[in-house]
Amino acid sequence: MRSRHPAPAAGPETKTTGGVVRGISSHGVHSWRGIPYAAAPVGDLRLRRPHPVVPWEGVRDASRFGPVPIQERIGEFIGAGRDTPMSEDALTLNVSAPTTPSDTPRPVMVWFYGGAFVVGASSAPTYRGYDFVRRGDVVYVSVNYRLGALGYLDFSAYGTPERPIESNLGLRDQIAALEWVRDNIAAFGGDPDQVTVFGESAGAISVTTLMATPSARGLFHRAIAESSAPGMVFGQERARAWAAGFVTALGADDDPLTGLTTATGEQLLAAARVLRDHLGDQPGTIPTAPVVDGDLLPEAPLDAFEAGRAADIPLIIGTNDTEGRLFELPRMRMDVLVSEERASRMFALTQPELREQVLGAYEGRPFRKDLGGDYMFWWPSVRVMQAHRGPVWAYRYDLTTPVLNLMGVRATHGMELFTVFGVADRARWLTALGGRAALRAMQDRVQDDWLHFARHGTPASFWPEYEPDTRLTKILDRTDRVEADPRRERRLAWQGFRGYD
């Protein structure tokens, strides 16, 4: 049977710091896939900071995506599909640009995927970014970074002078990718002085954390954080306790360094499952997260924002209406305080004096549907909104469809991705009972705002800046509107809550 679409043609050859790459061209877009931006973190480089890419001879085929990082195979959308190649050698990125020439360099948009720092891939179909390239005349970059134990557990205490181990490896990967963009993107028609980073969930945590990371300063100039959880960055004492639990689960207490450096990918994943299943005593945390290590990340991002030490660049930041409802669905294993018991335990470990004040704002609401999402995503994002020293535009994404209403999740975590990446027509299940016209219209508005922001540093539509005295927030719905201090009662209830260290 003949395909409805012509096969991609060979694309242009482009020189990078590693060597020449040849991409593919199709439907008005040049694409280069699987370009290494650092050396393979294998062998002696496992659990090490990213090292310079190893140059290659000749022309490298950049028509295929690189392997995805080591992770559980739980679905192509957020992780590795059943047939997707997986490898530790996954520090690659993808570049897409318009086929039409331009007299001036194009704005660059760099995407970091979500997935709780344990799943995700730049090659996921949703993240291809071709709509951005065609609609906005931009250069789009999507990045693979290390996940799980290999990227976000702090094993640095087990290193030696002869065999060091660094912390925050996934974050270091992202910085290395941004350095690659700085040094190479002009060869693809991009402007290294007009780089916007954006991400969702763990990718948005990456964005807000990078804004607070001194060594990332100057590598990007605008930022978009979709459903960030800025508080999911923890102190080194807590992080090292999680690392010790992982070593025990790996069966490597007698010789942690050898165990960590020689374990297979499946052994690492098995140990991570054991660690995850024994985190019940610290509800509302994720062990695979950036760590305040006093080296790469000198302070918690929320502290950096509130002290005025985060990058004061233009920022779009927001959350979805019912963030926490996604996590009550089957197979969703992230802990977002799904019961009053879990919430009470969290307050006992953080600020017990605020328990009644906060919980009182949720009387009559199922805990698993509201409080957890506000705790993890909304309230910490509000803290960033009100503290950021640069221009900030705040939003709440409320658009839902009959299917989502029937499921009981409404505009939950991740739903804005369908509009951001222009895949509303491909997600037919989402509009099987109606709502496609509204989703398409939202897609146009959101993409216009994101693209205008990448080019000019402001949204395209009417959208006042967020100020602490007015708290003007754009509500993205069938008809967009601007509200002053939405959910004021909840905000006041959370006032003063700082969470885990």
> Is residue 271's pLDDT more than 90?
yes
pLDDT tens for residues 337-348? 767 788 889 999
pLDDT tens for residues 378-397? 999 999 999 999 999 999 99
**Band (3; pLDDT cuts 50, 70, 90):** very low
User: pLDDT at position 329, please?
Assistant: 73
> Is residue 80's pLDDT more than 90?
no
From the candidates 88, 200, 226, 323, give the one annotated as an active-site residue.
323
- Give one DSSP letter per residue of 432-456, joined into a string: TTS-HHHHHHHHHHHHHHHHHHHHH
Give the up-direction half-sphere exposure of residue 328: CA atoms within 13 A in the CB hemisphere.
Answer: 20
pTM score over 0.85: yes
User: pLDDT at position 338, please?
Assistant: 64
Task: Evaluate whether 22 touches 11 at the Cβ level (below 8 Å).
Answer: yes
Q: Specify the 3-state DSSP secondary structure of 134.
A: helix
In degrees rounded to 5, what are phi and psi of residue 447?
Answer: -65, -40
Q: Which region, left, alpha or beta, applies to residue 28 given φ > 0 means left and ψ of -120 to 50 means alpha? A: left
From the candidates 122, 201, 228, 381, give the one annotated as an active-site residue.
201
Task: For residue 397, give the amino acid letter.
Answer: Y
Is 413 known to be catalytic? Answer: yes
What is the chain's mean pLDDT, rounded? Answer: 93
pLDDT tens for residues 5-59? 566 777 789 999 999 999 999 989 999 999 999 999 999 999 999 999 999 999 9
**What gap in Å lies between CA 419 and CA 83, rounded to an integer?**
27
Task: Evaluate whether 109 touches 74 at the Cβ level (below 8 Å).
Answer: no
From the candidates 31, 388, 413, 416, give the one annotated as an active-site residue.
413
Mode of pairing for the β-strands spanning 92-98 and 222-226? unpaired
pLDDT tens for residues 64-75? 999 999 999 876
In degrees rounded to 5, what are phi and psi of residue 163?
Answer: -135, 75
Is 221 known to be catalytic? Answer: no
**Band (367; pLDDT cuts 50, 70, 90):** low
Is 201 known to be catalytic? Answer: yes
